[in-house]
Homo-oligomer: A and B are copies of this chain.
Amino acid sequence: MDLDTSTWEKTAQAKGQAILKAIPLEWRVPQPIPPVDVTGAYIQGFLNAREIEITEADAVAITTQTTSGKWSAVEVTEAFCHRAAIAHQLVNCLHEIFFEDALRVAKELDENFAATGKPTGPLHGLPVSLKDQFHVKGVETTMGYVGWIGTFEGNKDDPRAGVVESELVRELRNLGAVLFCKTSVPLTLMTGETANNIIGYTWNPNNRRLSSGGSSGGEGALLALRGSPAGFGSDIGGSIRIPAAFNGVFGLRPSTGRMPYEGVANSIDGQNTVLSVVGPMATSIGSLKLLFKAVLSQEPWLYDPLALPLPWRDDLEMETQKLIKESSGRGPLLSFGIMRHDGVVQPHPPVKEAMVFVTHILKELGHQMIEWDPQLCKEGQEIAERAYNMDSGEDLLSHISLSGEAQIPQCLVETGKHLNAREVAALNVQKRQYQKKYMDHWNSTSKKTATGRPVDAIVCPTAPHAAVIPGKFRHTGYTSFVNVLDYTSVVTPISRVDKGIHRFEPLPQFLSEVDQMVYDAEIYHGAPVGIQLIGRRLEEEKVLALAEYISKNIADFGGEGYVQPRA
């Protein structure tokens, strides 16, 4: 490249400034930002009562209002644009801002409603944010790479730039959604923190000394600040679940083939040993379900060759709800595997306690809890790592080298051996055999359950720690084995770190080198903790129903951001 270092820095800086400039002057926030926690009262201070009312409703409540014409799309959109603008200034969570386009679309939706008396679709007037991998007309996609600025996925003079839209975007428009911003990612997408040379670091709104997670970190942070009611991220090793857990919001990693990935920019595209998937993130489980179901109603399998012809299965949802309903007082009709750690890195005290809390609640509700041996985790983690690095980092490095930008410590590209086709095939066989082993183990639990059926889901941490200290993210082991298995996983917020309760506990022994991660109650104070509920492959309907039930009970038992009683 003929660009020197100063050039990429200028390009990056100009783009960062352009993002800020897209925010109307009247929505600017005075710098510096004083508090550690900018959620709740702090961000509310920038908004009027009506804006707060709208933006603190979840997607289900919002669409109830907008599809019945009670709230206008324009009013809802404006409120979220305002709050998202504030959010970005507090934690650096946006890559693209297109509020004017959003308001134009909202106006059209309102006009259409006025003319027909009917909503455009189930997401009529709902603002939806998108991780900066999705292509939206008239808007750039940088995916955190300086070399992608002013190009189409790094290709200069590509006629698709600013013109094509991802299949999901097309479907969201059909459904009546209003797209208004794209959220920040780490360049490469291959890390659990969000940092790049364009916007810098995306901070955790609950505790600005901590990470928002990654790679859908901007999405997680924006949702935590209620700058968006719902959005879409992607997950190849935890990239939806980690930021959901770190930010105290909900996220669904579906199995491959349910949500359309067609026409979405990606890292290491074509690596198909462990596939990245698209999934919704939101401020309630109901919202995840709303988005997931709405997209399926568009029959993505007719437009995306990798999407499966699996519409939303009411029967699977109903069956699960029946088991939940009939469980109370009738002996266990549901059973859960509890995996307290992954055998490699032990969870910090707040995460450990969140697991105790969830176990306690599920037992109280009359369900059977079965200890889940973590011994199968490690092989999954290793397969994932080898899949991610099978090309020796060549694809990732090619995008970094487009501009010659500096590597960022959080996004260092792992190199190593470049596999050949036969070695890739051997890895695919190992992966399948691993999946089979896990499947057999899951089936074998039918011998242990009172129901005579295998466990309904597995409960486990999302990460060994709450939202991590910048630069300290090192272990995706709690999430990446799920990608290798292609299971369905929902992250649900459980609690927050409380320095008065979650004290440092010296570990009796380390399970691995990475296990020596220091827990510091002072620094972690206030950081959200979320756990995973993992179901079998393509069981999204079931897992969402179970997660909704658990999430509701967590709230009833005083969880979800509150200090919880010891079990």
Contacts and interface: CB of A to CB of B under 8 A. Distances in A.
26 contacts: A269-B429, A270-B427, A270-B429, A270-B432, A271-B425, A271-B428, A272-B272, A272-B425, A303-B439, A304-B436, A305-B435, A305-B486, A306-B432, A308-B538, A309-B537, A391-B420, A391-B425, A392-B421, A394-B422, A418-B422, A419-B420, A420-B420, A420-B421, A421-B421, A421-B423, A421-B424
Interface string A382-419: 00000000111011000000000000000000000011
Given A272-B428, A308-B308, A422 B395 contact: yes
Contacts of A391: 420-422, 425
Contacts of A428: 270-272
A302 interface: yes
B309 A436 contact: no
Minimum-distance CB pairs A-B, first 6: A270-B425, A305-B435, A270-B428, A270-B429, A390-B421, A391-B422
A310 interface: yes
A432 B262 CA distance: 9
Interface in A300-319: 301-306, 308-310
Interface of A: 262, 268-273, 301-306, 308-310, 390-392, 394-395, 418-429, 432, 435-436, 439, 443, 485-486, 537-539
A308 B427 CA distance: 21
Contact of A439 (B305, B443, B485): B305
A418 B423 CA distance: 11
Contacts of A426: 270
A195 to B, nearest CB: 25
Contacts of A272: 272-273, 425, 428
A420 B422 contact: no
A310 B301 CA distance: 14
Contacts of A421: 271, 390-392, 418-421, 423-424
Nearest to A395: B422
Nearest to A309: B538
Nearest to A428: B270
Contact of A425 (B305, B395, B435, B538): B395
Given A262-B436, A418-B420, A420-B391, A302 B425 contact: no
Contact of A301 (B268, B302, B537): B537
Contacts of A436: 262, 304-305
Contacts of A486: 305
Most B CB contacts (10 A, CB to CB) among A301, A392, A422, A427 go to A422
A33 to B, nearest CB: 42
A302 B439 contact: yes
A305 B273 CA distance: 13
A405 to B, nearest CB: 21
Nearest to A539: B309
A425 to B, nearest CB: 3
Contacts of A302: 439, 443
Contacts of A273: 272
Contacts of A423: 421
A418 B418 CA distance: 13
Contacts of A418: 420-422
Contacts of A309: 310, 537-539
A432 B390 contact: no
A391 B423 CA distance: 9
A270 B424 contact: yes
Most buried by B among A270, A395, A429, A538: A270
Given A302-B443, A391-B425, A394-B422, 10 more contacts: A270-B428, A271-B421, A301-B537, A305-B432, A305-B436, A305-B485, A305-B486, A308-B310, A309-B538, A421-B424
Nearest to A167: B436
A566 B421 CA distance: 50
